């Protein structure tokens, strides 16, 4: 480029390209790429100061415009998804409820799968015993049943949260705590006595709130005992639930 014979080089390159028989070969594609890069280098080297400034400004403004538009589209899409999820949750929440756990959580679904597998192994045990012996189906049914029971062995899980609107506890939270898969108890808690200790997941912004939390209850009223309990208590707030956002 510094020799001042760039136009002769261009003429030679164009004639050489016209003489190529197979332009789809790797060497031909490499030559065409080299030619384009050489032309681009010459264009950049021979721009004036004003052309450089104008080119850089246009590229920067275009990049900023694309980034702004992409961010706007992302925010609008997330807002639309959140609105749809919120409408679906509102339809599933009861009166004055702000949180309610789903009846069939992923863990309980695995438990049902374990019970179903145990029943299937027990039912078809005579047929399985013909191929694997009598021990395999019995042992498999027992293990599957124990797995199902383990998935249902939950305690200190928040099943629902409701805002108390009447009585002396108006403004407080009525929390239904699952002590097991079939029993639960109600406690009344002041909002100032509840705090989240840790999020059980990535806790990312956006999408639906699928992350659970561990709650610390500093003081609560046990409805079954009829007394206020000052001892701190930890509860698990499941992520797979309907909630008022």
Q: pTM higher than 0.85, yes or no? A: no
Q: Is residue 71 part of a domain?
A: no
Average pLDDT across each block of 10 residues of the chain; the chain has 245 residues. List them in order.
Answer: 60 73 74 77 65 57 76 86 75 80 82 91 88 88 90 84 87 87 86 81 48 83 88 85 75
Q: Is residue 77 part of a domain?
A: no
Q: Is residue 197 part of a domain?
A: yes
Q: Is residue 80 part of a domain?
A: no
- On whether both 165 and 239 belong to a single domain, the answer is yes
The answer to whether the beta carbons of residues 162 and 97 sit under 8 Å apart is yes
Per-residue pLDDT, 55: 58
Q: Is residue 84 part of a domain?
A: no
Per-residue pLDDT, 200: 66
Q: Which of 91, 126, 152 is the last residue of a domain?
A: 152
CA distances from 107 to 87, 143, 184, 235 (A): 25, 17, 18, 17
Domain with 30 in it: 6-46
- On whether both 169 and 131 belong to a single domain, the answer is no
Q: Residue 13 half-sphere exposure, CB side, CA atoms within 13 Å?
A: 17
- On whether both 230 and 197 belong to a single domain, the answer is yes
């Amino acid at each position: 480029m510094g020799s001042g014979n760039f136009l002769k080089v261009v003429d030679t390159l164009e004639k050489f390209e016209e003489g190529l028989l197979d332009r789809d070969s790797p060497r031909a594609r490499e030559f065409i790429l080299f030619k384009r890069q050489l032309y681009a280098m010459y264009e950049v080297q021979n721009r004036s100061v004003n052309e450089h400034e104008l080119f850089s400004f246009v590229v920067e403004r275009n990049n900023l415009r694309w980034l702004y538009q992409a961010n706007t589209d992302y925010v609008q899409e997330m807002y639309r998804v959140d609105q749809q999820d919120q409408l679906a949750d509102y339809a599933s929440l009861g009166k004055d409820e702000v949180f309610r756990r789903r009846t069939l959580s992923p863990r309980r679904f695995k438990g049902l799968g374990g019970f179903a597998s145990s029943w299937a192994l027990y039912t078809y045990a005579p047929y399985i015993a013909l191929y694997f012996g009598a021990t395999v189906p019995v042992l498999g049914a027992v293990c599957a049943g124990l797995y199902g029971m383990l998935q249902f062995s939950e305690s200190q899980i928040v099943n629902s949260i409701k805002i108390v609107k009447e009585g002396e506890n108006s403004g407080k939270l009525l929390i239904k705590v699952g002590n097991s898969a079939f029993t639960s108890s109600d406690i009344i808690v002041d909002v100032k006595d509840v705090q989240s200790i840790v999020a059980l997941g990535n806790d990312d912004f956006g999408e639906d709130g699928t992350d659970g939390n561990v709650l610390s209850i500093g003081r609560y009223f046990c409805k079954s005992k009829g007394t206020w309990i000052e001892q701190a208590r930890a509860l698990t707030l499941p992520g797979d639930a309907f909630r008022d956002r």
